[in-house]
Structure 1
């Protein structure tokens, strides 16, 4: 059974945090989790721009959404203001980001979102925990071991593991948003359920070979979802369910 974190269970240092205003949403992120690229992206209003574009194009009021890789909570805010916030389940593997997400959701009056600290794994994964690699700048943290070798400051920790099939079965999402820095490899080994009408995924071609991208496209096609150019930009790709012909 999935259990969301209780608000304020994980405290964040109550110092004055840098504040960013993006598309009317307030974001506060501890400076030690940032780097210059992230700051410029937020200051310029470009942060998570491609994912936000897809959300604005496709999310519908009645959707149930599963977000894998919640980051700062910004995309969750964009989703939660368009649906019943209680129908959004946000998964984030980096334990350092959980209090950041919680605080940002609260600051934007979107407290009903369920946030879970865990990494999503294939259904054949047999352990309760998995190694996650935390980088100094939060948005590069990943399950992918390539990350661990790239920066000397990377720290590897054990985090709870949740099978993707369990998430599909228990949350019954109609939409999946996925940005997990290479962790998507292995999550497309079987057909996705029919109740999922849309997938928005950021691909990470520098972290795996082309065959992984082919497998994602092939498995989506086999599951009845096809590439959708509306909302797709750069490495962010939208797949939508093919409507039955009348």
Structure 2
């Protein structure tokens, strides 16, 4: 048995507790995060400082570091088991410029404390929503998104948080962020939720970039002042 799977130049540890059969099939078929990863080279620059919310198994952060030469990435992941896996994935790829934070990001309209996170299989179905059935629940510290961005001096934000995007940007301070790459989950938040998310980003000075967006992976760019 191979110790690793390789996808687009990134090594992923073959740990059956995380890389379950459904996940393995997606990786071997090249489907895993396909739309998202094909969009990244179209707008990412090596000197970008990227915060990734919902880092999963560390594939996107590893791709950014090894294939696109991004100088610094911060992974934010709610599932503590995935945080440990991400660290192993980064080590397997010889990456030292990527950090990992176990937390749930909040908008400024909420008060931080702890969140109950519901873990499911496959891991990408895990979320803050208790429905449908879950394998276990874990308590996760909450952090303001604005604080995470400021502390890391991020100019790019990548978001894939299984419906948590609905109100994430409500009152958020994204003053230094120039690009937001967002995976939308219509089946989780519906059309009203998508509208709320897009409206919040529009109010913060971002516009939809059709040239990069594909499927559920949507790029927003900050509009410069004339």
* Partner secondary structure for residue 170 of structure 1: helix
Report what 1:9 is aligned to.
none
Contact 2:64 2:70 in 1 (8 A): no
* Other-structure match for 1:219: 200
1:130-169 residue pairs with structure 2 within 5 A?
A: 130-146=115-131, 150-151=132-133, 153-169=134-150
Q: Does 1:45 align with 2:26?
A: no
Paired residues of 2:9 and 2:63 also in contact (CA < 8 A): no
Matched ranges for 1:113-132 at <5 A: 113-132=98-117
Q: Which residue of 1 aligns with 2:18?
A: 33
Alpha-carbon distance in 2 for matches of 1:186, 1:130: 15
Distance (whole Å) between structure 1 residues aligned to residue 222 and residue 101 of structure 2? 27
Over the aligned positions, Cα root-mean-square deviation in angstroms equals: 1.9
TM-score (norm 2): 0.91
Cα distance between partner residues in 1 of 2:16 and 2:178: 37
| Corresponding position of 2:52 | 67
How far did 1:69 drift?
A: 0.7
Number of residue-to-residue matches in the alignment: 225
Equivalents in 1 of 2:115, 2:198: separation in Å? 26
TM superposition score normalised by structure 1: 0.84
SS in structure 1 of the partner of residue 189 of structure 2: coil
In the TM superposition, residue 232 of structure 1 has moved relative to its aligned partner by 1.2
Tell me how far 1:18 sits from its aligned partner.
5.2
C-alpha spacing 1:29/1:121, structure 2 compared with 1 (3 Å): farther
Tell me the CA shift for residue 78 of structure 1: 1.6
Partners of 2:142 and 2:172 lie apart in 1 by 20
- Asked if 1:57 corresponds to 2:57, the answer is no
Structure 2 alignment gaps of length 5 or more: none
